Structure 1
Amino acid sequence: MAIDDGSSTPDFPLWKFRTGTEFGDQADVIGYHVVGTDEEIGSVADFVDANDQPAFVVDTGAWVVGQRILLPAGAVESIDHAAREIRVDRTGTDIREAPPYEVSTGESEEYRNRLTHYYCDLYADHHEDHSPPG
């Protein structure tokens, strides 16, 4: 069973960077702040690229001690290296409610599929308000 890349819904590949959001050395983004449309979400703890599906491991810190989520590259709206900030086009609540990331299961096909479905549903529900550029 192949991993669903989210290319049918939303109208962009969830597991690929949007045009203009790519970055160079992945170690450079560790510690960057992740900011949603309404609040800071957390900070980048790691970057993973399993099966050519880049994503940020985000430590949400204050909400639940030690909770981390996996943020697909396609959810990133912009990266500001000067401010050390990654902006996403969803609210903090939207991101916090994603299936939690655990190192032991985070690279599994089943986890990636659950995460893909979560974000596809999220983008479908908010399509009119926050549709990302194609």
Structure 2
Amino acid sequence: MSTGLWGYGNAEGYNPGSDLTGFRVEAEDGHIGKVDKHSEEVDSAHIVVDTGPWIFGREVLLPAGTIQRVDTGEKTVWVNRTKEEIKNSPEFHRDKHIDDPDYRHQLGGYYGGIF
């Protein structure tokens, strides 16, 4: 399992192979949505969060390195970013960005600069 921004290595309670789909996602300052998809790809691990009505149904892609903790009993993922940081992240379009290395580079620059 890789560490850094694109790996789950620093996420407390994360077990490789876990299905996070449907888990609640909590930012540092409150609920932001549910995990719609997740990936464990080496150096590209991430979750896609459906924000529902919070930001008008927008989906956001969060690098796995933003995950602080996973509680499988509570089905909750906590990320180390604020709602505002996530809301202002580069726009995500599933059909266009899910496997786009340029988008991951842009997102890595955005989240990598916020610690």
TM range (shorter): 0.7 to 0.9
Counterpart residue identity of residue 117, structure 1: G
Matched, 1:32 2:20: no
Runs of 4 or more off by more than 6 Å in structure 1?
Answer: none
Other-structure match for 2:7: 16
Unaligned runs of 5+ in 2: none
CA distance in 2, matches of 1:102, 1:77: 25
Match of 1:121 in 2: 113
User: Deviation string for 1:14-65 (max 9, x for gaps)?
Assistant: 0011153432434x31110100111101110011345641100001111233
Give the share of equivalent positions with the same residue, in percent.
30
Partner of 2:74: 83
Match of 2:101 in 1: 109
CA distance in structure 1 between the aligned counterparts of 2:91 and 2:70, rounded to whole angstroms: 23
Q: Distance in 2 between matches of 1:86 and 1:113?
A: 23
Larger radius of gyration: 1
Residue identity in the other structure for 1:87: W
Name the structure 1 match of 2:57.
66
Shift of 1:103: 1.6
Determine if contact 2:55/2:87 at 8 Å carries over to the other structure: no
TM-score using structure 2 length:
0.85
Deviation of 1:77 after TM superposition, in Å, equals 0.3
Note the residue ranges of structure 1 that are not aligned, 5 or more in a row: 1-11, 124-134
- Counterpart pick for 1:93 among 78, 84, 92: 84
Structure 1 residue 108: Cα displacement: 0.6
| In structure 1, distance between residues paired with 2:11 and 2:63 | 14
Normalising by structure 1, report the TM-score.
0.74
Aligned CA-pair RMSD: 1.8
Give the aligned residue type for 2:50.
Answer: D
- Paired amino acid for 2:100: S
Q: For the structure 1 residues 76 and 19, does the alpha-carbon distance in structure 2 shift closer, same or farther, using more than 3 Å as the test? A: closer
